[in-house]
């Protein structure tokens, strides 16, 4: 029964991990930028959900609808005004730049919200359901379903919409896309905006489950790293596979050798994967 | 010896005279200045000469700090403990480098960032050895008083800086430095003409780690208390990069000037905006990258370009 519980926990957590990582993966894949603000976007999304619930009693499900356009606009502007100027620079410059932006955003959050841990508690609490001795909290289950839905939405955008096809085209071959009349700069900004929107929505969902503090942003960012490398870059299915694999490894690792070593395990795995299989589980080789 | 390397040595010599001018505060600032210059010069070997975007500085800083700390709390004298940190960091970095430096670009950046996490988690969980999250208390080196202690650590850090500067100058003028420049420009071509790129990169990574590790060791002995989130702080990885960017990538003199300029800015920011100091640091980084991407040294060229050309 323990095995079943570990498995279910991993599946539930894995979808959330995928949701955390998917925006990061999109930005990395399309813009070729390692976006270190991602973690702070997630925390900001969590604060948005918390604030809306505390002050206006808007439940987190509706907060998702509010967060998405807000974060899209935020990300779009950051890319257009700041990041776009150095987009062709080497990784050292873009990475350090996003680190600087992250310092600003994180410091602003510490300044306004303080570093205290907060928690969004729904009243009344939603309880949990149990099936054959396997217990799952309902709020966690709904968050997982929403995370899956978000990933699905991104998948549909990339598959069905014209702008989504343009994003994929830019990712595959920027020069060819330019020749076909795609406005690469605006696609970059839209992709970054989408990444930010996904991060904000992921933050809203995280607010239901985890404590909220500006200090947690690096933990989210670390998860995004590992999921992206495990699953492979820039594909929706890769992020899902990576998320579930990471959650499984953490779950099994915590059960066998203790929860303290779960993070070490995941990062060691990341480094091994980078060396042995840098394209990830579902990535294709030579497909940048 | 080129002129800029000569100026670098003169600059390092000038730093040594600092204790004559001020009290404890000048000593503290001088020690940090030396430490920052060591980190920036070391990073420059892998980041500037070989062109690999390494974010692993904090990992080796912490590794050296904990090696020294653990040894000293077992009764080993400070000199031996710091030397052990030097050797240990070199060995660990050279071995890891052989594996990690096969990655390029973004993947190497991510791997080197993750190295910090791995080391921190390992130290965090080895509570018996390192004290884990409670941190590690390190015994005082002597009971001679605060000021003489501070002077001792200032000169220790300064001597390490001198060692780093000499190492960088030797590397820059040697076959190793030439090989690293080849690797930066075109690694595949360098491999083709028979350059053992893996060996060169591993040695470079080791050299860029060992002085950082020793600096971490002196830092640990100096502040007497370290904990994982302090010495494995990712800022120790980013600050050297910012310093190198301020000064101009690749030039040892530029990097050291960058370190000093950065320290000055940091002091001003700390003193005036304690609540928002990391935000101001962020603004500084963003402004620097957007408006002065080639560093202060490029200003000189730009100013010179305004003059009419001599025939």
Asked if A103 lies within 8 A of B281 by C-beta distance, the reply is: yes
The predicted pLDDT at position B92 comes to 92
Interface mutation target, options B112, B278, B294, chain A, most CBs of A under 10 Å = B278
- Residues near A280 by beta carbon (within 8 Å), at least 6 away in sequence: A228, A229, A230, A231, A232, A233, A238, A242, A273
Asked if B100 lies within 8 A of A218 by C-beta distance, the reply is: no
Asked if B100 lies within 8 A of A271 by C-beta distance, the reply is: yes
CB of B83 closer than 8 Å to CB of B140? no
User: Taking the CB of residue B38, how many other CB atoms lie within 10 A of it?
Assistant: 28
Residue A173's SS3 state is coil
Q: Is A130 exposed, middle or buried (CB count within 10 Å of its CB: 0-12, 13-18, 19+)?
A: exposed
Tell me the nearest-neighbour CA distance from B212 into chain A, angstroms. Answer: 20
The predicted pLDDT at position A285 comes to 45
Chain A with chain B: Cβ pairs closer than 8 A = 114
The predicted pLDDT at position B311 comes to 44
Asked if A222 lies within 8 A of B105 by C-beta distance, the reply is: no
Q: Could you tell me which residue, A275 or A41, shows the higher pLDDT? A: A41
Per-residue pLDDT reduced to its tens digit, A94-145: 888 888 898 898 888 888 887 778 887 777 776 777 777 777 788 888 888 8
The predicted pLDDT at position A287 comes to 37
Task: Answer yes or no: is pLDDT of A218 > 60.
Answer: yes
Cα(B177)–Cα(B170) distance, integer angstroms: 8
**Cα Rg, chain A, nearest whole Å:** 19
- Residues of B near A (Cβ–Cβ under 8 Å) read 47, 53, 55, 99-100, 102-103, 105-107, 109-111, 113-115, 117-118, 121-122, 124-125, 234, 238, 241-242, 245, 275-279, 281-286, 289-290, 293
Asked if B114 lies within 8 A of A270 by C-beta distance, the reply is: yes
> pLDDT tens digits for chain B (311 residues)?
677 888 888 888 888 887 777 778 888 888 999 999 999 999 999 888 888 888 899 999 999 999 999 998 888 888 898 999 999 999 999 988 888 888 877 888 888 888 888 888 888 888 778 877 788 888 777 667 777 888 888 889 999 999 999 999 898 888 888 888 888 888 888 888 888 888 888 999 999 999 999 999 999 988 888 888 888 888 888 889 888 888 877 788 888 888 988 888 888 887 787 778 888 888 888 888 888 777 776 676 666 555 554 44
CA A51 to chain centre: 21
| Average pLDDT value for chain A | 83
Q: Write the DSSP string, B82-95.
A: HHHHHHHHHHHHHH
ipTM: 0.80
CA angle A285, A286, A287 (to 5 degrees): 90
Asked if B279 lies within 8 A of A95 by C-beta distance, the reply is: no
Residue B201's nearest CA partner among B108, B109, B102, B115 is B102
Cα(A263)–Cα(A266) distance, integer angstroms: 5
The predicted model gives A226-252 an average pLDDT of: 83
The shortest CB-CB distance from A263 to any of B107, B115, B121 is to B121
**Letter string b/e over residues A56-89, b meaning 16 or more CB atoms within 10 A of that residue's CB:** eebebeebbeebbeebbebbbebbbebbbebbee
Asked if A93 lies within 8 A of B242 by C-beta distance, the reply is: no
Model confidence band, residue A286 (pLDDT cutoffs 50, 70, 90): very low
């Amino acid at each position: 029964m323990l095995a079943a519980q570990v498995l279910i926990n991993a599946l539930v957590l894995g979808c959330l991990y995928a949701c955390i990582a998917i925006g990061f993966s999109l930005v990395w894949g399309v813009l070729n930028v390692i976006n270190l603000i991602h973690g702070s976007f997630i925390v900001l999304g969590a604060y948005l959900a918390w604030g809306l619930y505390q002050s206006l009693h808007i439940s987190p499900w509706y907060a998702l609808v509010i967060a998405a356009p807000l974060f899209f606009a935020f990300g779009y502007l950051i890319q257009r005004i700041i990041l776009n100027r150095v987009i062709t620079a080497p990784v050292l410059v873009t990475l350090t730049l996003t680190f600087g932006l992250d310092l600003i955003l994180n410091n602003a959050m510490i300044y306004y919200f303080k570093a205290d841990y907060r928690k969004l508690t729904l009243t009344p609490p939603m309880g949990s359901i149990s099936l054959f001795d396997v217990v799952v909290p309902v709020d966690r289950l709904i968050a997982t379903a929403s995370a899956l839905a978000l990933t699905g939405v991104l998948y549909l955008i990339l598959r069905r919409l014209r702008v989504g096809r343009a994003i994929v085209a830019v990712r595959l071959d920027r020069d060819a896309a330019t020749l076909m009349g795609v406005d690469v700069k605006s696609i970059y900004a839209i992709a970054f905006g989408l990444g930010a929107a996904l991060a904000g929505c992921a933050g809203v969902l995280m607010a239901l489950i985890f404590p909220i503090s500006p200090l947690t942003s690096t933990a989210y960012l670390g998860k995004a790293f590992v999921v992206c490398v495990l699953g492979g870059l820039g594909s929706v299915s890769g992020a899902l596979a990576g998320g579930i694999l990471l959650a499984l490894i953490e779950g099994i690792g915590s059960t066998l050798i203790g929860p303290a070593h779960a993070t070490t395990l995941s990062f060691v795995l990341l480094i091994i994967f980078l060396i042995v299989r840098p394209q990830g589980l579902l990535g294709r080789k030579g497909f940048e | 010896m080129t002129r800029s390397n000569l100026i670098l040595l003169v600059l390092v010599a000038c730093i040594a005279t600092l204790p004559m001018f001020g009290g404890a505060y000048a000593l503290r600032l001088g020690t940090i200045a030396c430490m920052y210059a060591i980190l920036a010069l070391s990073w420059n070997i892998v980041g500037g000469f070989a062109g690999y975007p390494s974010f692993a500085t904090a990992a080796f800083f912490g590794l050296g700090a904990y090696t020294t700390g653990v040894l000293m709390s077992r009764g080993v004298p400070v000199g031996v403990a710091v030397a052990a940190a030097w050797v240990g960091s070199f060995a660990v970095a050279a071995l890891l480098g052989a594996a990690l430096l096969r990655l390029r670009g973004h993947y190497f950046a991510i791997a080197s960032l993750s190295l910090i996490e791995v080391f921190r988690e390992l130290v965090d969980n080895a509570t018996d050895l390192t004290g884990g999250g409670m941190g590690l208390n390190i015994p005082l080196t002597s009971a001679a008083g605060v000021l003489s202690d501070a002077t001792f650590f200032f000169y220790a850090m300064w001597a390490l800086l001198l060692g780093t500067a000499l190492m960088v100058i030797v590397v820059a003028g040697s076959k190793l430095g030439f090989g690293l420049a080849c690797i930066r420009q075109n690694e595949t071509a360098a491999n083709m003409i028979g350059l053992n790129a893996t060996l060169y990169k591993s040695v470079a990574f080791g050299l860029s780690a060992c002085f950082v590790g020793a600096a971490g060791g002196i830092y640990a002995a100096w502040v007497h208390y370290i904990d994982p989130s302090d010495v494995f702080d990712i800022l120790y990885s980013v600050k050297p990069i910012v310093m190198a960017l301020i000064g101009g990538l690749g030039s040892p003199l530029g990097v050291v000037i960058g370190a000093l300029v950065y320290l000055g800015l940091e002091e001003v920011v700390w003193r005036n905006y304690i609540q928002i100091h990391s935000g101001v640091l962020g603004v500084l980084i963003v402004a620097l990258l957007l408006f002065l991407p080639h560093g202060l040294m490029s200003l000189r060229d730009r100013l010179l370009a305004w003059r009419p050309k001599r025939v």
